[in-house]
Amino acid sequence: MTDISVVLQVLVSGCLMGLIYALIAVGFTFIFGVLDVVNFAHGQMVMGGMFAAFALYVAFGLDPFVSLIAIAPLFFVLGLVVFRLLIGRIVESTHASHTVVTLGLFIVLENVVNLIYGGDLRGINTSYTSRSLHLGTVSMPIGQLAAAVVAIAVVFGLTLFLNYSSVGMAVRAAASNRLGAQLVGVNVRRVYAITFAIGAALTGIAGAVLAPVLAFDPFIGGSLMLRSFAIAIIGGLGNLPGAIAAALFIGIIESLASLMLKGSLSNAVTFGILMLVLLFRPNGLFVRTSR
């Protein structure tokens, strides 16, 4: 019989990982919800954030959480550049075009980083990397806890931006009805550029806060992309609250699976759930269906 303290530890660890997953997946589902583009390079952009934090740590000794001050605006600008050069040219095209272009970007990013840094695993060891906060019998790694706090702050900030800023309301209008937004004077192309840039900034933030939590190499983007895709599908593509709920759900399920099954089977459980969702609730678990 499993001790209740062990179950509580597993649930807390699952919630922390779920919030980290949410930070990774929010940018992916945000871009899809507005642009209707599945960005298969999303995971590699998160990987880019990891290596950006690593480069700043090596060159200047910047803590990854401090480096967010530089990485977030840098990735926002890079997102504008990528939109101008690539995504903006195919945003009105078919999903097949989106797939080919973003997969091409995936391959380019992976190989450029591999050329510069090589394929060895890397990590950032800080003063809190191996430290934990203890509350009774529950232990919370400081790095994961800090990443979860950043995830909550980012999601809260994005929600405020979408609901209370003029640009955010334009983004919502373009996501809801592209033609209708154009008819009332919204510059849809500008909104798309800003949306993709925000999504890119979110990948930079996610990568930076993950850098002291996970070991990484140039090939980690594939697994991050699959995780983002699974969460977006389970939560409902383009549904931000659904993505957050799905990320927490997956984090807890994986932690419970690692307790009751072999740890290597946690991924199998996640993608087994994904297959069931695609079969029986293709719109997502957290999307209301009309009767």
Residue 52: CATH number of its domain:
1.10.3470
Q: Is the pLDDT of residue 52 over 90?
A: yes
pLDDT at 264: 62
Instruction: Report pTM.
Output: 0.92
Q: pLDDT, tens digit, for every residue of 196-230?
A: 999 999 999 999 999 998 899 999 999 899 888 89
Q: Both tokens of residue 15?
A: 């919630």
Q: Does 21 fall in a domain?
A: yes
Does residue 20 sit within a domain? yes
Residue 69 lies in a domain: yes
pLDDT at 291 over 70: no
Q: What is the pLDDT of residue 41?
A: 95
284 has pLDDT over 90: no
Q: Examine residue 223 and state whether it is found in any structural domain, yes or no.
A: yes
| pLDDT reported for residue 8 | 87
Number of domain units in the chain? 1
pLDDT at 1 (0 to 100): 44
Closest by CA to 30, choosing from 278, 205, 257, is 205
Give the residue with greater pLDDT, 283 vs 267: 283
Predicted pLDDT of residue 257: 82
- Which pLDDT does position 218 carry in this prediction? 95
pLDDT tens digits, 72-104: 999 999 999 999 999 999 998 998 999 999 999
Residues paired with residue 141 on neighbouring β-strands, in sequence order: 132
Domain that holds residue 208: 4-280
Query: Does a structural domain hold residue 165?
Result: yes
Q: Which of 26, 22, 50, 51 is nearest to 39 (CA)?
A: 26
Give Cα 170 to chain centroid, integer Å.
23
Residues 123-166 have pLDDT tens digits of 998 888 788 888 888 889 999 999 999 999 999 999 999 999 99
Structural domain includes residue 252: yes
Nearest to 203 by CA among 16, 77, 39, 43: 43
Q: Indicate whether 288 belongs to any domain.
A: no
218 near 43, Cβ under 8 Å? no
**Is 289 domain-assigned?**
no
Residue type, 239: N
The DSSP 8-state label assigned to residue 283 in this structure reads: T
